[in-house]
């Protein structure tokens, strides 16, 4: 079922989660453990992230360095298929522009369609870690909106090969990313919202936001979206603070602000266990206020920390 259908049928706000594929060399059991813990709260859908290739350097004889390309967390499509089969749940694979040309994108979408997957979250992806700026693959897409247009074309039965006869259309429900504190590359919020609207006008049916810790940022973003004419559901992304290191790593990696009150409280904590407790309490407060504010879904970035999500879900749903 499509994410938008889940939202349309819901009588109260829905619970959904995002999972990361395990590191290469691990098996799928960590995913199943997370799911087994969180199924109690009946997630409406489960996002599975996509992780592009990275360059690693290995010292070889004579002090030379060998450059290798590795994907540390493969398995997005396989995990989606496994979740659908094992839990009868709707998986939402993330599809990115980075590392894919149009043909590879089309083939990935055909796999998802054959697996009976109804939803995709379409993203540009970030630059390869050792490169400063995002570079599209030759023959690939530079922005999420361009990838989105390819999926919309497939939904209309138009594939890359113009000679295909009687091609069957796909019917993906398309989600895209939004940033309550703006995307880090955007010169300002106005510009970022203009491009967000472009994605919605091109066929996105819903928006999932980057994590945030101050609900005021979400509510003001939602207001501005509405005033720009963006009327699709906007789903807030929630990530509970889990340890002291995240006070710096979350702003560094996700370009989000930590409210003064949260940081003051965290600095008074003596252990990571206390910080995790604070993170749970903070998110429970955030979630209750977001529900009062009329959000359709609360979407949790679990990142291997299912316990916090489960405690919050227990208090909120
Ligand atoms: P876009 O919408 O393409 O925007 C990128 C930037 O370009 C923005 O600054 C925007 O304002 C600007 N822009 C957009 N369109 C145009 C245009 N036509 N012309 C000029 N400028 C334009 N990354 C992963 O690698 N894998 C994942 O699984 C993943 N999941 C995510 C899930 C969520 C909910 C979120 C919020 C992010 C996720 N990301 C993921 C990170 C995401 O890939 C990065 O934030 C990336 O830098 C931007 O992706 P986007 O789809 O928002 O890009």
Whole-prediction pTM:
0.97
For a pocket test of ligand 1, which of 124, 201, 204 has the largest count of ligand atoms closer than 8 A to its C-beta? 124
Least confident of 121-135, 204-218, 225-239, 265-279: 121-135
Ligand 1 centre distance from Cα of residue 19 (Å): 18
Query: In the prediction, which pLDDT does 58 show?
Result: 85
Q: Measured from the CA of 211, which atom of ligand 1 is nearest?
A: 36
Ligand 1 centre distance from Cα of residue 30 (Å): 27
Angle between helices 215-227 and 272-292 (to 10 degrees): 30
Query: In the prediction, which pLDDT does 131 show?
Result: 87
- Which residues have any ligand 1 atom within 6 Å of their CB? 49-50, 52, 94, 96, 123-126, 143-145, 177, 183, 185-186, 191-192, 195, 208, 210, 237
Ligand 1 centre distance from Cα of residue 10 (Å): 28
Q: How do residues 34-58 score in pLDDT, each as one tens digit? A: 999 999 999 999 999 999 988 888 8
> Backbone phi, then psi, for 230, in 5-degree steps?
-90, 115
Query: In the prediction, which pLDDT does 304 show?
Result: 74
Query: In the prediction, which pLDDT does 52 show?
Result: 93
Q: Measured from the CA of 177, which atom of ligand 1 is nearest?
A: 36
Ligand 1 centre distance from Cα of residue 163 (Å): 32
Domains of the chain are 3-316 (3.20.20.220)
**Is the pLDDT assigned to residue 175 strictly greater than 90?**
yes
């Amino acid at each position: 079922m499509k994410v938008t259908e889940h939202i349309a049928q819901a009588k109260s706000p829905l619970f959904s989660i995002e999972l990361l594929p395990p590191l290469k060399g691990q098996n799928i059991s960590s995913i199943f453990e997370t799911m087994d813990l969180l199924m109690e709260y009946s997630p409406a859908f489960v996002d599975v992230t996509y992780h592009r290739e990275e360059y690693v350097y290995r010292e070889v004889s004579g002090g030379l360095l060998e450059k290798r390309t590795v994907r540390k967390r493969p398995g997005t499509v396989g995990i989606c298929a496994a979740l659908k089969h094992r839990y009868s749940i709707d998986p939402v694979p993330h599809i990115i522009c980075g590392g894919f040309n149009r043909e590879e994108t089309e083939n990935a979408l055909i796999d998802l369609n054959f697996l009976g997957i109804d939803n995709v979250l379409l993203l540009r992806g970030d630059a390869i870690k050792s490169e400063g700026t995002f570079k599209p693959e030759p023959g690939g897409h530079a922005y999420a909106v361009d990838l989105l247009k390819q999926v919309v074309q497939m939904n209309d039965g138009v594939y890359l090969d113009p000679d295909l006869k009687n091609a069957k259309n796909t019917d993906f429900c398309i989600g895209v990313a939004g940033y309550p504190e703006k995307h880090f590359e955007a010169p300002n919020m106005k510009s970022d919202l203009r491009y967000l609207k472009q994605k919605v006008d091109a066929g996105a049916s819903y928006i999932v936001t980057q994590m945030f810790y101050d609900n005021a940022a979400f509510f003001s973003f939602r207001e501005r979206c509405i005033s720009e004419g963006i009327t699709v559901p906007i789903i807030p992304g929630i990530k509970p603070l889990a340890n002291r290191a995240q006070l710096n790593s979350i702003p560094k990696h996700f370009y989000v602000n930590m409210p003064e009150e949260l940081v003051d409280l965290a600095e008074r904590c003596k252990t990571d266990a206390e910080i995790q407790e604070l993170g749970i309490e903070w998110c429970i407060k955030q979630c209750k206020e977001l529900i009062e504010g009329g959000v359709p879904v609360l979407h949790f970035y679990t990142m291997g920390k299912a316990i916090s999500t489960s405690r919050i879900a227990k208090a909120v749903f």
